[in-house]
Structure formats: structure tokens, C-alpha cells
Structure 1
Amino acid sequence: MISTDDAPAVRASSPQLGQPQPPSRVESRSVGFAPDFVPYEHGLALQAEAAARLEGGSQLGTILLLEHLPVYTAGRRSDPDEYPSDGTPVVPVDRGGRVTWHGPGQLVAYPIVRLRPQVGVVDLVRALEETIIDVMAEFGLSGRRVEGRSGVWADAADGQLAKVAQIGLHAKAGVITHGLAINCSNDPAPFLNFVPCGIRDAGVTTLSEIAGRTITPAQVAEPLQSRLEATLEGVIA
């Protein structure tokens, strides 16, 4: 689920002595968790603001952590045949990938950063997958990659392979927007109403279903934030 407008920009030269020093680390912000769900349009606005700060040099990058109000979104490769079967509106966005759902019980993280010139978007996707797998391990859960498919996968309660986390990014001049979503305690029912990420031969699961106990986005946010900050330090300009 990747979209790129052009190649990463070359990093600007280091500031001269006496000039203000650039920020030293990515800043994380918890925007809203239950019951303070964040409208999707507000999430888009926050991403745009974070990208502007990044471009202006006032921040090295921002991680936004939140839960959205229920919404279906469609990336650039979406097929209308995959849209919700009941005619529920879908928000078109500029990320890669296809149709997905965000809503209560799902942890969303938007890492707004500039990649180093030698780091590709696919490299970031792989790094984010590994980060999610490591976070799952902190809860005693096993996640893995599936060759040829992005995101993180796990064995659902019925023993079938199912997707537990989605990744959809947009890159322009090396600046990343959009991000990842981890199904924590959300009701999986909305995923039955469309074709998630264009995948017809696998299901969707949640951390809570895998664990047999409730794991909320608020519980996952802190370890995800810590690991994301460390991951991004290794790839950002």
C-alpha cells in the first residue's frame, strides 16, 4: 500500500555555526483515544500541518497516535467492486493501496517524516512491519509477514491466517504521510462489508481475538510509540 509522487529529495546542507540548530528527534503526539475518537478529516489536517512543520525545519518529524471515528477510505489502487456492499460512503485518499476501514478499537499511527535519500518507501514498510511484530511480542503474541503482501499477519482464533495490521503510505519529495493501523479491540464486522485491501482469500483479526483478552489501542500506543521512535531514527533524514 505505497504511493510515491517523485524521488526523495536530497538532504539540505548542515546549518552554519551561529544558526539555530535543527530539532534532534521525532516528536510523538497522542491525538485522541476512546471516547475521544478523531474524525478522519481532522486526521488528514493534522498530517498536513505536521508535514508543513517538517518542510519548514521546525520539526524532524511527527508521530500521530489516535483512534478514528468509523470511516472507509480508498487508496489510489482501489477498485469500486471492493467498496462496501451497502453503499456506505468511502473517502478517497492519496495513499497507496486499496479500501480499508478505520474506527474505534483500531490504533492508527501516522509517522510524518522525511526519508534519507538511500532509504526507499518499501524499506520503511518492512521496518514498520517489524516494529508491529515486536510490539505484538510484548503482549505475548506472534505476528509475521506474508511474502508478496504488506502488513502484519497472524493466526486467527479459527487457525486461519488473517491480517492484523495494515500499512498504507504516501511519499512526496521523500516526505511520508499516512501510516499504519493495528486492529486491537475493534469489532471485525465492518471488514465483512467490503474487500479489505483487495484481498479476497484471507480474513481479518484483532490483537484481542488472538490473545483471548481485551487489548485496547490505548494499551498498545505506548509501546508502539517507543518502538516507532527508535525505528524512524534509523531511516529519517
Structure 2
Amino acid sequence: MHILNLLPQGPLPYLDVDAIQRYIHRLVSTTSHPDTFIVWEASDTYTAGRRTKPADIPDPTVAVIRMDRGGSVTYHGPGQLVIYPIIKINPPADAVKFVRATESAMIRALRTIGVETSAIAGRSGVWVKRRGDIDRKLCAIGIKFSRDTTMHGMAFNVFTDLAKFMRVIPCGLADAGVTSLAQIGEKENLPCARYTLPQAAALLLPALAEAYAQFIPPARKDGALTPLREEKYLARIEEEREKAAHLPKIGIPRLPSAQKTEQRQNTGEQTS
């Protein structure tokens, strides 16, 4: 497995990395590029998956980018580790099995640093369940298969500003909340309260690579996590942005100012 580590670039516009993802996905799907983890941090963005309902976005001023992943609406932003596994798998594609493997790998990795998490039947992601509190999602997961190759992935809250989630109904679950490693660490007096994004990536990536080995043909299995030079991929952003087909926005009324913001996001321009 190769790693394209974009964390040193700081928070990046969502659609810029989406363009890189789609470029790598096209290559991996034809086996002309190695299976790759894209590891990055987003600037403030709200994205809506295929299961998003209008009621999941009660604030009409929130600019939302609709994406072709599973799940509902969520927030991406600074302090959140985003991992896209781009993997050519043995057919047939089994999205449920892949998501369960992702959850189990992350749960095992988190247990090694003293953080107890779990999966919840019928609700994808990695959850924190504590007596006397609502269930809180630590990591959202939204995977898509195309040409027997995975794309999109997981958004893991390390020291994310959790208040940003409150402008939407995170993952469309009104009876649940969100949490972060920092919040868990502070409550339970654990070292993860001070984790950085690179530390979180170093914790999770080996566990994910091990879990995904079952989906990869033996001839392509490689236990090493090998870095890729990010400059090559960053240079393709403009080219890929022009090629990318912009998906339709979710059909929710917006104020003119929000519409203008969303148009800028969908052309890849940075917003203030």
C-alpha cells in the first residue's frame, strides 16, 4: 500500500483533493497505479451523501456539496483526519463487508491507546458509548465502489471543532452526537487528548492496511506502507478540476449568499 500524505499542506479545499482522488481512482481501477491511502485535512466544508434528506440540513444558509458517497450530511474541517483508501479489490464488491472491516480495524487500533469504541448495528462508523450519555460518533465512514475500486472513506475527529457539526444533523441521526479524540482524552485523562493528525494517521493506517489485505488479490499484496511524493499530485489539481464532472447540488433552498459561496466551492475557488 502506498500513502499520499497531504497533511503537511495544511487544510485543503475539499474539491481539490476530490480531484486528486478521482485521478488516482481511475489509475488504480486499471491497475496502473498502486493501491493508495490519501491522507489529508480539509478546510471548512459540509458534504451530503446519497442518503441525505432535506431535514438533515435545517439551516438553509449552510452551503453543502453533494457527493457520490454513502451516508448523509457531515462536516469536514481543521483538526479532522480524512483517509481515502483507493483499493482495487477482488470482485464482487461488498460495501458492507468493507465498511465492517474498516470499523473493526479502527476499533482495535484505538483500544491500543486506551480508547474504547464500538460499532452500532445499522449505523456505520466508529462510536463512543458511555453510560449516561448519548451515543457519539468519533469517525464517520462513507465508502463507494466504482469499477471494483473503493473511493471516499473516513473522517476521524482528532481535535475538530465539534460545534461546527451543529449546523446540520450529523449523518442524519438526530438522536446521536459527535466526539473527538481530544474530547475523549480530556474526559478520561488519556494522552490522546493531545494527539496530532500525523499521530492519529500513524495509529490507524497500519491497522487499516492489515484489514484491507483480505480484499486485495495475493499478487498485489504488499505489507509496506510506502510514501508517494505529493508534489506530483498537487500539480494535477487544476487539470483534474477541469475534468471533474460536478455533481448536482442537493435540492434544498438556500439564501443568495449561500448559493454564491457554494458556486465558488464547486469551481474550486477558496472562500473566506
C-alpha change, 1:93 and 1:119, in structure 2 (3 Å) is closer
Deviation at 1:138, TM superposition (A): 2.5
C-alpha change, 1:211 and 1:155, in structure 2 (3 Å) is farther
The correspondence for 1:48, drawn from 15, 22, 25, is 22
The answer on 1:57 being equivalent to 2:31 is: yes
Number of positions where the alignment pairs a residue of Structure 1 with one of Structure 2: 211
CA contact 2:49–2:69 (8 Å) conserved in 1: yes
For residues 148-195 of structure 1, the C-alpha deviation after alignment (integer angstroms, 9 at most, x for no partner) is 111011036974321111100111221111001111111100111110
Normalized per residue, the structure richer in strand is 1
TM-score, normalised relative to structure 2? 0.73
Unmatched tracts of structure 2, length 5 or more: 187-192, 218-272
The answer on 1:196 being equivalent to 2:170 is: yes
The answer on 1:224 being equivalent to 2:200 is: no
Distance across 1 between alignment mates of 2:96 and 2:7: 29
Deviation at 1:210, TM superposition (A): 0.9
- C-alpha RMSD over aligned residues: 1.8
CA contact 2:118–2:129 (8 Å) conserved in 1: no
The answer on 1:236 being equivalent to 2:211 is: no
Partner of 1:176: 150
5 Å matches for 1:8-157? 26-33=1-8, 36-83=10-57, 85=59, 87-118=61-92, 120-155=94-129
Deviation at 1:218, TM superposition (A): 1.8
TM-score, normalised relative to structure 1? 0.83
C-alpha change, 1:186 and 1:173, in structure 2 (3 Å) is same
| Equivalent position SS for 2:55 | helix
| Equivalent position SS for 1:114 | coil
For residues 14-63 of structure 1, the C-alpha deviation after alignment (integer angstroms, 9 at most, x for no partner) is xxxxxxxxxxxx21121125x71121011111111111221332223110
C-alpha change, 1:156 and 1:39, in structure 2 (3 Å) is farther
Q: Which amino acid aligns with 2:201?
A: A
